Amino acid sequence: MGLADRTPPTAVEYASYPERFGNWGRWGEADELGTLNHITEKVRRTAAGLVREGRAVSMARPVQTRPGPANPWPAQHLVGMPHARGAGDFLGMFLHSFVDTHIDGLAHIAGPDGRTWNGKRLGPNGMPIEHSGTIDHWRDGIVTRGVLYDVPRHRGTDFVAAGEPVHGWELADIAAAQGVEPRSGDAVIIRSGLDAFLAAADGPTAFASVAGVHASALEFLYDTEAALLIWDFQDAPTEDQGLPNPHESPIPIALHLHAIALPYMGLPLIDNADLGGIASACGELGRWEFQVVVAPLVITGATGSPVNPIAVL
């Protein structure tokens, strides 16, 4: 089962994903880039050629300082008192929230076997034992071609609804409909319409995604040699996956893509993106590919970083 017959994986097939879609050793045992290795100098030059209008669009959300059902760990933004006689901003934040735009390092989460990228292990505090899989290894930034997969536009809806996850073959359909050929080194940008969903929500939003992307998308990402995944909704909930959650958690969060993409594929994820602006720009211009620039903060030993991904058209 898979993309060819447009069928989601069984639990047995999903259990084979770490080996089937694994990249351990592909770029050497000491590799720290994972699928960012697909971004060659040629890929960067080609991406630069996509800049035609010179128009830049942010794909980041404002840092959230107010608590809520989806934000139990709000960022702290403190400012200096008048007598401080200088700029006094202090920002402290939980890097892996469900509201702030951030990039996951390869050591952010272990797979079901307890290992992270290239077989490394985490300590009892959930942090890497070795200086491996951390965000500071990406200090040179990420510059590549981005392709927007606008799922609501393709479906003729406002947002991806619960019970209707985004499958890998639908991404292939969207690429064909948009006239874009997936290429090695792409930043795959999956828009599920989070803002429209929030606007239509009746009452407080859930702690984690109530809709999103199915694990079947991993096959598409692997086969097309995607370098980076940017999304607004994240992993579809367990009831939409039809698969056991690979991680037991006291909070209702599904990790079917996270648990394969990061530790085994070495595929970085940018969570909680704001894709409304780029969707509008792409619709206006009638094109769905552009240059993407991402500059993670250089935080030694960190498993993630807040980011402001920029699309340049």
Please give the CATH number for the structural domain made up of 11-61+101-312.
3.50.30
DSSP 214: -
How far apart (Å, rounded) are the C-alpha atoms in residues 313 and 191? Answer: 18
In 3D space, the residue among 308, 289, 294, 35 whose CA is nearest the CA of residue 145 turns out to be 289
Name 134's Cβ contacts closer than 8 Å, sequence gap at least 6: 105, 107, 128, 300, 301, 302, 303
Asked if the model's pLDDT at residue 171 lies above 70, the reply is yes
Asked if the model's pLDDT at residue 229 lies above 70, the reply is yes
pLDDT for res 84: 66
Count of C-beta atoms within a 10 Å radius of residue 10: 12
pLDDT for res 86: 66
In 3D space, the residue among 272, 291, 271 whose CA is nearest the CA of residue 281 turns out to be 291
Mean local confidence (pLDDT), 211-224: 97
Among 59-73, 74-88, 192-206, 276-290, the range with the most confident prediction by mean pLDDT is 276-290
Q: Please report, as a single letter, which amino acid is at residue 67.
A: P
pTM comes to 0.96
Give pLDDT tens digits for 117-157: 999 999 998 899 999 999 999 999 999 999 999 999 999 99
Task: Answer yes or no: are the C-beta atoms of 266 and 278 closer than 8 Å.
Answer: no
Burial bucket for residue 9 (CB in 10 Å: 0-12, 13-18, 19+): buried
Asked if the model's pLDDT at residue 238 lies above 70, the reply is yes
Question: Which residues share a beta bridge with 229?
Answer: 188, 269
| Boundaries of every domain in the chain | 11-61+101-312
Q: Of 82-86, 269-273, 288-292, 293-297, which gets the smallest average pLDDT?
A: 82-86
Binning pLDDT at 50, 70 and 90, where does residue 206 land? low
